[in-house]
C-alpha cells in the first residue's frame, strides 16, 4: 500500500485552516441612530438601554457605530466640556479696617465666622482717631472679579485718591489684582468728574478683596462707608453636575437579611442617592450599601431622615466619584413602616462619532471579545471648532429601539472547536507503523524465497 505524503500533510493542516476561517466577531444588539440633520459629527447619549446591552466587563469598549456598509466609523467618548461660566454681579458694602496703634499691631483682628463672613474686632489698645486706609469686601463666594465700582448714590464727599486691590480666600494670603488705580469724584458748580471703577485681573477665583489707600485721603469710616458693585464670573462644577443629573427609580425587591433591596436594569455609574421615609412622624438613620459585583458589599453613605407634620423625610447624598453597581441595599438603624422610596442619580456618558460613509448609522453593543479601537476624535472636534466656533457642539443623534444583531449568544464565550490534531497524529502514526510492518513482512518474505532457491 502506497501513501501519498501530500495527502497526509493536507490532512494535518485541516484543523489550522478551520481555526483561521472562523466566523467574524458579532455584536449582540443594534440601535438605529437618527441623523436626519446633516452635520460633520454627532453626539450619542448612552442611556441605561445601552448599558444593559453591553458586556459589563468591557467598560463600554464593546460599543461601536457602523455605517450602512457595516463598517465601523470613528467613535469615542465626548471630550469633557470646560466648566460653565456663570455671570456674577452683586452689591457689597466696604468694611473699614481700623488703624492699629503703632505699638499694638495686633490690636485689630480680622477673622471669619462659621459661614465665612468677615468679622473685624479691635480691643481698647487700638487707635480710633485716624482715618481708615484699608477696606475689606466679602463677595459671598469665590469669583473671578472683572471690576469693582463705587456706587455714586452712596458717596458723600469729593476725593482724588489712588488705591491698590488685592484678593484672598483666607484673609491671610493676598494676591495683587490692581496697583495704583486712580479714583476721582469732583462735583463742581459747572462740571462733574467721576472715575469710580477699578478694573481687576483675577488669576484664580477669590472670595475676599482688600482695597488699600496708597495716595490721597478720604473719609470712608463707619457712617460714611460707600457701597461697591462687583462684576465677574464663577464656575461651580458641583452645582453644574447636580443640575445635569438624571434620576432613576430602581425596582424594589423586598427585604433581604433585614435590608431593603433595590435593583436597576443595568450596572450604572451612580453619583447620588435620594431617600424618602415611607410614613409621617418618623426619624431614622439609613445606610446605602452597594453591590461590588463579587459577592461583597460596600457602604458608601448614610443619611439622616426626619419626617414630621407631613413634611420632610427626604435627604440626598452625592458622591465625589461614580460607583458602578446594579444592586442597592438600604439599611435602617431603627424599624421603618415600609421600604423607603429610593431614587439614584447618574450622568449618562456622551460619545461622539464622525459620519464616515453613508447613512443609516447604527450603534452596536455587546460582545464577548470585540473591543473598540482608539480614534483621535478630540483632534477632529478641535479642528471642527476652529472653523465652526468654540461653542459649537455636534448634533445629537437619538437612539432608536433595540433590535437583535447576533443576539445574546455574542455575549457568550465561543465554543472551543474539537481539536482534530491529536486524532490525525494518531492516524498518521498508525499508518506509519502499518507501513513499517508491511515493509518488514515484505523483507522477511523475500529473504525466505532467496533461501529456498539456494
- Domain segments of the chain as ranges: 5-21+418-453, 29-78+349-411, 86-234, 241-346
Pairing of strands 206-215, 227-234: unpaired
354-369, pLDDT tens digit by residue? 999 999 999 999 999 9
Distance (Å, whole) CA 367 – CA 359: 23
- CATH superfamily of the domain spanning 86-234: Galactose-binding domain-like (2.60.120.260)
Burial label for 367, CB within 10 Å (0-12, 13-18, 19+), is buried
192-237, pLDDT tens digit by residue? 889 999 999 877 899 999 999 999 999 898 888 999 999 999 998 8
Residue 315 near residue 305, CB atoms below 8 Å: yes
367-408, pLDDT tens digit by residue? 999 999 999 999 999 999 999 988 889 999 999 999 999 999
Distance (Å, whole) CA 173 – CA 180: 20
Element (H, E) at 9: helix 5-20
Distance (Å, whole) CA 117 – CA 124: 23
Q: What is the DSSP string of 249-302?
A: -PEEEEEETTEEEEEEEEEEEEEEEEEE-SSSSEEEEEEEEEE-SSS-EEEEEE
At 76, phi and psi to the nearest 5? -160, 165
Burial label for 156, CB within 10 Å (0-12, 13-18, 19+), is exposed
Residue 331 near residue 342, CB atoms below 8 Å: no
Place of cell 471648532: 385
Place of cell 463677595: 139
Going residue by residue through the chain, which has 454 residues, state the pLDDT in tens, using 9 for 90 and above: 443 433 333 333 333 333 333 333 589 999 999 998 889 999 999 999 999 999 999 999 999 999 999 999 999 999 888 888 899 999 999 999 987 644 445 668 888 888 888 988 877 655 555 678 899 999 999 999 999 999 999 998 999 999 999 999 999 999 999 999 999 999 877 778 899 999 998 778 999 999 999 999 998 988 889 999 999 999 988 888 888 899 999 999 988 888 999 999 999 999 999 999 888 878 889 999 999 988 899 999 999 988 887 677 788 998 889 999 999 999 999 888 889 999 999 999 999 999 999 999 999 999 999 999 999 999 999 999 999 988 889 999 999 999 999 999 999 887 766 566 777 776 777 777 777 777 776 777 776 666 666 6
Residue 367 near residue 24, CB atoms below 8 Å: no
Calculate the alpha carbon distances from 264 to 48, 253, 366 in Å.
Answer: 9, 10, 18
Per-residue pLDDT at 239:
86
Pairing of strands 259-276, 341-346: antiparallel
Helix (H, G, I), strand (E, B) or coil at 383: helix
Do 241-346 and 86-234 have the same topology in CATH? yes
Partners of 165 in the β-ladder: 178, 211
Residues of 249-283 as b/e, b for ≥16 C-beta within 10 angstroms?
ebebeeeeeebbbbebeebbebbbbbbebeeeebe
Q: Which of 196, 205, 195, 210 is nearest to 232 (CA)?
A: 205
Calculate the alpha carbon distances from 197 to 11, 92, 149, 157, 229 in Å.
Answer: 92, 14, 4, 16, 9
Per-residue pLDDT at 125:
57
Distance (Å, whole) CA 333 – CA 331: 7
Residue 265 near residue 48, CB atoms below 8 Å: yes
Spell out the CATH class of 241-346.
Answer: mainly beta
Amino acid at each position: 500500500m502506497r501513501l501519498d505524503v501530500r495527502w497526509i500533510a493536507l490532512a494535518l493542516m485541516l484543523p489550522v485552516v478551520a481555526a483561521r476561517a472562523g466566523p467574524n466577531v458579532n455584536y449582540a444588539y443594534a440601535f438605529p441612530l437618527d441623523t436626519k440633520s446633516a452635520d460633520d459629527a454627532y453626539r450619542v447619549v448612552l442611556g441605561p438601554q445601552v448599558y444593559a446591552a453591553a458586556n459589563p466587563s468591557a467598560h463600554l469598549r464593546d460599543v461601536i457605530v457602523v455605517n450602512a456598509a457595516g463598517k465601523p466609523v470613528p467613535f469615542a467618548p465626548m471630550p469633557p466640556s470646560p466648566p460653565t461660566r456663570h455671570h456674577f454681579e452683586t452689591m457689597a458694602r466696604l468694611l473699614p479696617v481700623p488703624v492699629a496703634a503703632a505699638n499694638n499691631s495686633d490690636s485689630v483682628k480680622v477673622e471669619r465666622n462659621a459661614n465665612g463672613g468677615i468679622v473685624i474686632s479691635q480691643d481698647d489698645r487700638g487707635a480710633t482717631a485716624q482715618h481708615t486706609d484699608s477696606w475689606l469686601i466679602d463677595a459671598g463666594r469665590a469669583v473671578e472679579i472683572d471690576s469693582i465700582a463705587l456706587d455714586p448714590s452712596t458717596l458723600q464727599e469729593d476725593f482724588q485718591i489712588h488705591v491698590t486691590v488685592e484678593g484672598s480666600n483666607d484673609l491671610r494670603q493676598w494676591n495683587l489684582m490692581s496697583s495704583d488705580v486712580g479714583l476721582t469724584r469732583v462735583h463742581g458748580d459747572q462740571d462733574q468728574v467721576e472715575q469710580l471703577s477699578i478694573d481687576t485681573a483675577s488669576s484664580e477665583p477669590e472670595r475676599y478683596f482688600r482695597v488699600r489707600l496708597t495716595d490721597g485721603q478720604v473719609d470712608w469710616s463707619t457712617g460714611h462707608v460707600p457701597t461697591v458693585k462687583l462684576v465677574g464670573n464663577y464656575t461651580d462644577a458641583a452645582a453644574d453636575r447636580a443640575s445635569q443629573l438624571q434620576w432613576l427609580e430602581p425596582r424594589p425587591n423586598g427585604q433581604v437579611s433585614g435590608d431593603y433591596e433595590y435593583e436597576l436594569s443595568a450596572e450604572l455609574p451612580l453619583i447620588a442617592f435620594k431617600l424618602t421615609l415611607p410614613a409621617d412622624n418618623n426619624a431614622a438613620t439609613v445606610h446605602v450599601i452597594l453591590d461590588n459585583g463579587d459577592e461583597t458589599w460596600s457602604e458608601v453613605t448614610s443619611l439622616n431622615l426626619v419626617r414630621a407634620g407631613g413634611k420632610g423625610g427626604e435627604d440626598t447624598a452625592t458622591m465625589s466619584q461614580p460607583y458602578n453597581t446594579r444592586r442597592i441595599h438600604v439599611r435602617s438603624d431603627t424599624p421603618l413602616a415600609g421600604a423607603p422610596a429610593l431614587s439614584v442619580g447618574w450622568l449618562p456618558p456622551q460619545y461622539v462619532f464622525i459620519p464616515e460613509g453613508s447613512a443609516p448609522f447604527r450603534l452596536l453593543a455587546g460582545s464577548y471579545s470585540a473591543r473598540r479601537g482608539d480614534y483621535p476624535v478630540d483632534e477632529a472636534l478641535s479642528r471642527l471648532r476652529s472653523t465652526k466656533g468654540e461653542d459649537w457642539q455636534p448634533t445629537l443623534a437619538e437612539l432608536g429601539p433595540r433590535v437583535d444583531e447576533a443576539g445574546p449568544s455574542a455575549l457568550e464565550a465561543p465554543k472551543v472547536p474539537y481539536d482534530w490534531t491529536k486524532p490525525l497524529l494518531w492516524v498518521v502514526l498508525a499508518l506509519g507503523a502499518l507501513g513499517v510492518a508491511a515493509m518488514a513482512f515484505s523483507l522477511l518474505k523475500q529473504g525466505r524465497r532467496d533461501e529456498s532457491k539456494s
